[in-house]
Amino acid sequence: MTGSEETPSFRLAYVPGVTPSKWVRIWNERLPETPLILTPVAAADALGVLRDRGADAGFVRMPVEGEDLSAIPLYVETTVVVVPKDHLFAAAEELALEDLADEILLHPLDDTLGWERPPGKPAFERPATTADAIELVAAGIGLLVVPQSLARLHHRKDLTYRTVAGAPQSQIALSWPKDETTDRVEDFIGIVRGRTVNSSRGRRPEQDDKPKAAAGRKPAAAKSGAGKSGTGKSGGGKSGGRSAAGRGGRGAAGGTKGSKPGRPRRRS
């Protein structure tokens, strides 16, 4: 193990939009003696939490800058535009970035897409959070372009969303302090990467993984030498006795049919 001594629990940070329940369930099945503590963090604060050792690892949004943090990119999210259900765009299956040119686009301060220049017309004021921007979309103030997971997180019955082709995308990564790669971090990396229990780092495969063809099978030599042809029929059994004392014995010694082998004949 490298890094500092392990804590009795494993602290996992995650940004809005990430659903870690699948990995948490596997962790609890494999390592029930080590509680996993979930820590929700804002996307902008996630890397700082890891650097301050507020969590052992975390699901963050790329990019992960700095040589002090390790990161494994996981998946890229679909980008969507959130609109009122009665909006014209709700009738489309997919939109192009150019379709948003004449719309007022809300650009919250916690935006995760890293626009160089957001499309559409800017709103009078930038909302503080994505949650605030969702409220403004519902009020008919403008539209909002976000990763699909955030649209689902802030779902409302009066809103819907459609895929936007050509828009920037957000990528999720698993990150942790490089000098704190503990055994528990390695265990969680294995879970996220889909390793089985036997293939996880530091775990030995089961003994019955050896080839099963050799188990329970008699050696070839024993079967032929000590079996039917050895001490059985061919050697000292029926076949061998019949050959020596029967046909062969009668022809060589001139014995009668009923005579027994090895018994001398009486002289007259």
What integer pLDDT is reported at residue 199 of this predicted model? 64
Q: How far lies 168's CA from each of 32, 128, 145, in Å? A: 40, 21, 10
pLDDT number for residue 202: 41
List per-residue pLDDT tens for the chain, 268 residues long: 444 455 589 999 999 999 999 999 999 999 999 999 999 999 999 999 999 999 999 999 999 998 999 999 999 999 999 999 999 999 999 999 999 999 999 999 999 998 888 899 999 999 999 999 999 999 999 999 999 999 999 999 999 999 999 999 999 999 999 998 899 999 999 999 988 777 645 443 333 334 444 444 444 444 444 444 444 444 444 444 444 434 444 443 344 444 444 444 444 4
Q: What is the pLDDT of residue 201?
A: 55
Fold of 79-165: D-Maltodextrin-Binding Protein; domain 2 (3.40.190)
CATH class of domain segment(s) 10-76+171-204:
alpha beta
Describe the crossing of helices 21-30 and 183-192 by its angle, rounded to 10 degrees: 120
Rounded-to-integer distance, Cα 127 and Cα 132, Å: 6
Domain with CATH 3.40.190.10 in the chain: 10-76+171-204, 79-165
Strand order in the sheet with 36-40: 36-40, 10-14, 57-61, 171-177, 69-76
- pLDDT value for 107: 95
Q: What does pTM read for this prediction?
A: 0.70
Strands 36-40 and 10-14: parallel
Phi and psi at residue 70, in whole multiples of 5°?
-95, 155
What pLDDT shows up at residue 260? Answer: 46
CB 10 within 8 A of CB 184: yes
